[in-house]
Structure 1
Amino acid sequence: MNNLRRIDLNLLVTLHALLMEKHVSRAAQRLHKSQPAVSHSLASLRAIFDDPLLVRRTGKLELTARANELLPLLTEALHQLGALIDLPAFDASQAKRVFRLAMSDYGARVVLPGLVRRLRSDAPGIDLQVSQGSRAAMLAGVHDGEIDMAFGVFQAPLSDELRTHTLFIEHFVCAADKNTLPQTGHLEKTEWLSRPHVLVAMQSGENNEIENALQREGVNRRVAMTLPHWGVASRVVANTDLILTAARRSFDLFQEDSPLQLFVPPYPIDPFAFNMVWHSRRESDAGHNWLRQAIIGTLIQGEDGQQTGG
């Protein structure tokens, strides 16, 4: 009972932010407090619970066993208290906050232009830190709290703690130099297989939707070049006999006077779901919820005015 008298709601909210972020500076940003104030609160909480709560291991803070026990109980308690306390609503126009997003350059091309315009218009105080990594690394970052949201193609099943939303279903198209194509503007199976190809992948030999489709057909293509970035791939193909098979939205800025022609792949390639993933601990974060809805909204608007290219 004595310890209970020493705890107020602000300390509980600070503890919750610290346990979720596992980082004093990020917890301070989330709470709109100074880092020294949050550090002082952490010292008080350690005294109250007689436990360090956060300890440094391999260069970063980790939860102690006691903190792991407290987190789900604290989350539920604050959720119930939220129904009793009139907490201020998230005001995007006044918010000062940094969000950490992870995506490939394909994801950046699809997500960021519309999102940045929305933020500059409606939430100019919100900043973004965008990183890139493998699918596994992005999911690990979300799980560990290093990343707020990850965008990409993620294979189910995901962790029970992760939440996902399908932003759109994507299809594949091929691109080749117009001067190397027949008058029909596309290639039949034999011609397509006889040409050298460009593969966009983080690592050479990485499994991808295209190779999986060809394996089902019992055929192989020659990959003459593997690139880690989508942006340069179409420029590499121009004025060569190379073929690039890629997600259609990677060609959204395709110009009518481009030397390239887009056409449907001669082999059926399954479409894929492009997903947004976040951790369940962010569900009660009003700012996080606002940003997720902003991303969904900008992509829906983009769909309405999407270029077809080719």
Structure 2
Amino acid sequence: MSGSSMKHNLNKFDLNLLVAFDTLMTERGVTRAGRALGITQAAMSNTLRRLRELFDDPLFVKTGSSMEPTPRAIELSTPVALALEEVRKALNQEGFDPMMASENFRLGMIDYASAMLMPGLVRHMSQVAPRAKMQVVDVGGDEEVANLERGAVDLVFSRFQWVPPKVCINRLFSMEYVAVFCPNHPGVEGGSLSMDAFLASRHVHYYPRGMDNTVVDETLAEMGEKRNIIGKLASFGMLPAMLASSHVMAVMPEGAAKVVARPLGLRVEKLPFKTPLLRMALAWHPRTDRDPSHVWFRQQVKFVLKEACWRDESNCEDGIYH
């Protein structure tokens, strides 16, 4: 159907098709989309057929176990999602009651960010919004913005060295990188961590997706130095027990270090050299910018992070609360 025909027949247009399209963009599968909408696979397949006829485009192409959107579907995704969000807002004018809310808030972040945020957020949400749910999606690098644009996550907590286009961003705070190790680590039994002790130590290197080369190693390279890295981990969850049970050292953001060090009695020391700060931020898509439930949830995330990671106001970026 041409754009002209669609415009002339808008009074006959089935808005449920746009809901189905938006769900397909999120779920990337007919069965999963049908389940999310509460309809059968056959009914969802018929809906996809109607969408393809409507836009004269395949829209979604089978690739392995999922369906990938065509360029036309990607072009449609943002305006459709924004339009549906405005309709939902118009139909829901009662306001947002956290104690009665049953929303499922989806957060995108790498696992060291999860370690900083989730313990406190779970405790806090159980008190202020006991019926709400949360889902953590592991994202990194270019996936952060892509997941926001296609509606796979509602909010991303990550470092943002640049301001991504087409997203709203709230810069939060800056952190130093620190060294974490067991209390009886050889060469640093007392006092501060020296450069000689740092370089002599055996290091375990955590590298989340999209962050293989850390600013720490880049800074050392500029100084003509190099860490003795004896192991590389893609998962932050393995680090704490490894640090507590062996004489190895790890470098991590101080916010994550505070979370993992306290329960295991690990030492946290400043690095014996200066590195660029790690700047953390929240990012979300414009379609949820004014949604009452999402505005409220972002406020809760910032409250928990403030308590957990930067009680010192000097680390707070200007204009965090707005």
1:150 aligns to what?
A: 156
Q: Offset at 1:267?
A: 1.4
User: What residue in structure 1 maps to residue 69 of structure 2?
Assistant: 62
Taking structure 1 as reference, are residues 84 and 286 closer, same or farther at Cα in structure 2, changes over 3 Å only? Answer: closer
Aligned residue for 1:5, secondary structure, equals helix
- Matched residue, 2:124: 118
- Number of equivalences: 299
1:293 CA drift (Å): 2.0
Relative distance call for 1:55 and 1:300 in structure 2 (3 A) is same
Partners of 2:268 and 2:77 in 1: how far apart? 55
Which residue in the other structure is 2:220 paired with? 214
Q: Write out aligned runs for 1:147-296 (5 A).
A: 147-158=153-164, 160-179=165-184, 180-182=186-188, 184-202=190-208, 206-238=212-244, 240-253=246-259, 254-255=261-262, 258=265, 260-296=266-302
TM-score by length of 2: 0.72
1:76 CA displacement: 6.7
Query: Does the 8 A contact of 1:98 with 1:127 survive in 2?
Result: yes
CA distance in 2, matches of 1:125, 1:256: 29
Q: Using the TM superposition, give the Cα deviation of residue 305 of structure 1 relative to its aligned residue in structure 2, in angstroms.
A: 6.0
Q: Percent identity?
A: 21
Q: TM-score, normalised by structure 1?
A: 0.75
Give how far 1:266 is off.
0.7
Q: What amino acid does structure 2 have at the position aligned with 1:168? A: F
**Is the 1:197–1:242 contact (alpha carbons within 8 Å) kept by the matching residues of 2?**
yes
Amino acid at match of 1:162: V
> CA-to-partner distance for each residue in 1:43-67, whole Å, 9 max, x for gaps?
8984995657853443326367388
Q: Where does structure 1 lack aligned partners over 5 or more consecutive residues?
A: none
List runs of 5+ in structure 2 lacking aligned partners: 1-6, 313-322
- The one-letter code sitting in structure 1 at the alignment partner of 2:169 is T
Aligned-pair distance for 1:168?
Answer: 2.3
**1:208 offset after TM fit, Å?**
0.9
Q: 1 CA distance for matches of 2:160 and 2:129?
A: 29
8 Å CA contact 1:173, 1:262 repeated in 2: yes
Task: Tell me how far apart the structure 2 counterparts of residues 166 and 228 of structure 1 sit (CA, whole Å).
Answer: 26
